Amino acid sequence: MRCDASDSETVADVLRDTGAAGVSIEPVLLISDAADFSYEELTDRPWTVRATFAQVLAPAERRALRRRFDAVGLSQRLPRLQYREVEPVDWAEEWKQFYRIQHIGRRLVVRPTWEPYQAKPGEVVLDLEPGAAFGTGEHETTRLCLAALERMIPPGAEVLDIGAGSGILAIAAVKLGSGRVRGVDLDGDTVVVAVENAERNGVGRLVEFRAGTLGERWPWPDEPAVRAADVVLANISSIVLGAMMPLLAAALRPGGVLIASGFLVRDAHEVRAAAEAAGLRVIDESVEAEWGALVASLGG
C-alpha cells in the first residue's frame, strides 16, 4: 500500500498487530552521485508498505483492517488496499538458478558448488558458495580482478586481499601458484564464509582470513602491514580506494603490484590519480560494462 512517509511506521505497526508475518517499509530514495553508497530518503513522496500474511484475509478481516487504519489518526486516509495471493518461495534456494558456471580469463572457472563440472586440462576451478558475502564472480569488478590476477601474479608471490568478501580472489591466488595468502574483511561473518570457501577448495591451510583491514585494525600485530606483500588485491569502492591508497601502496614490496577495482569507469581518473599520488605507476587498465579495474606497480 502507498502512504504518506510520516505514516509509514504507524501503518507497519497496525499490520504487525493484525498478524502480518512480515512487514517492509520501502522509502523513495535519491541516490547521490557524489559519494558511493550515499542516498537521501525523500519524504515528500508516498512510501510503500508491504505485508505478508500466512492466510488470505477474509472480507470481514479486510474491512476490520481498514477500520483500524481509519482509527489511528493517519495524516492522510489510505487509498484502496491491494491484496495479492502469492506462491511460497524458498528464497534460500531460488537465487541459485541465476548463478551459473563462469569462465574468466584464460584458465579460471568459477563453479557454484551445486553445479557439476568436468575441468579441462589447465583450467583452475574455484568452487564457491558465496552465502552472504560479496564475490561470486557474477559482478564485473570480481571478474576484472580475477582476470588481472591471472595475468599478473608471479609464482610464489605473497598476496594480501583487502575486503576479501567470499574469499574468491584469495583462493584464486592460491590456485594460481602464489605463496602465502592472507585476506581481511571488516565483517566477521564474511570472514567465516571465506574460511568455509577456502576449505571447500582444499586450500584452507594455504590461505588465512581475519577480521580487520589495513591501518589501526590490522589483525597481525606481530607482523607489520608495511611491505607485507608482493600483490595487494582491493576490490572496494572508489571512495575507500582513494582514502586507503597510501596504505595499499605502503603494503606493497618494491616491484609489487596493486590490483584494484570496485569503481565505476567515470571514477577511474580519481583512482588513477590517487595511485600515482601514493607513488604507484599504473601499468594496466581494463573495463567491463560500466566498471573499471587497474593494475599499478611500486618501483623497485
Q: Could you tell me if residue 106 is inside a domain?
A: no
CATH number at residue 183: 3.40.50.150
Do 146 and 73 lie in one domain? The reply is no
Do 144 and 290 lie in one domain? The reply is yes
pLDDT for the residue 162: 97
Q: Residue 136: CB partners within 8 Å, gap ≥ 6?
A: 99, 110, 128, 130, 142, 166, 168
Do 150 and 44 lie in one domain? The reply is no
Rounded Cα distance between 227 and 222, Å, is 14
Domains contained in the chain, number: 2
Q: Span 109-134, mean pLDDT?
A: 81
Q: Could you tell me if residue 124 is inside a domain?
A: no
Do 53 and 158 lie in one domain? The reply is no
Q: Could you tell me if residue 123 is inside a domain?
A: no
Do 145 and 268 lie in one domain? The reply is yes
- Percent of the chain scored above 70 by pLDDT? 91
Do 57 and 190 lie in one domain? The reply is no
Residue-averaged pLDDT of the chain? 89
pLDDT value at 217 more than 50: yes
Q: Span 179-186, mean pLDDT?
A: 95
Q: Could you tell me if residue 104 is inside a domain?
A: no
Cβ burial of 156 (10 Å; 0-12, 13-18, 19+) is exposed
Do 163 and 43 lie in one domain? The reply is no
pLDDT for the residue 113: 80
Last residue of a domain, one of 48, 72, 88: 88
Domain range for 181 is 140-298
pLDDT for the residue 35: 53
Q: Span 207-224, mean pLDDT?
A: 95
Quick one: DSSP state of residue 205? T
Do 77 and 159 lie in one domain? The reply is no
pLDDT for the residue 33: 53
Using DSSP bridges, classify how beta strands 207-211 and 181-185 pair: parallel, antiparallel or unpaired: parallel
Q: pLDDT class for 299, splitting at 50, 70, 90?
A: confident
Do 146 and 277 lie in one domain? The reply is yes
pLDDT value at 91 more than 50: no
Q: Considering only residues 85 and 251, tell me which one the structure prediction assigns the higher pLDDT.
A: 251
Do 156 and 230 lie in one domain? The reply is yes
pLDDT for the residue 32: 63
Do 177 and 35 lie in one domain? The reply is no
Q: Could you give phi then psi for residue 296, rounded to 5 degrees? A: -130, 145
152-166: pLDDT as tens digits? 999 999 999 999 998
Last residue of a domain, one of 72, 88, 104: 88
Do 172 and 293 lie in one domain? The reply is yes
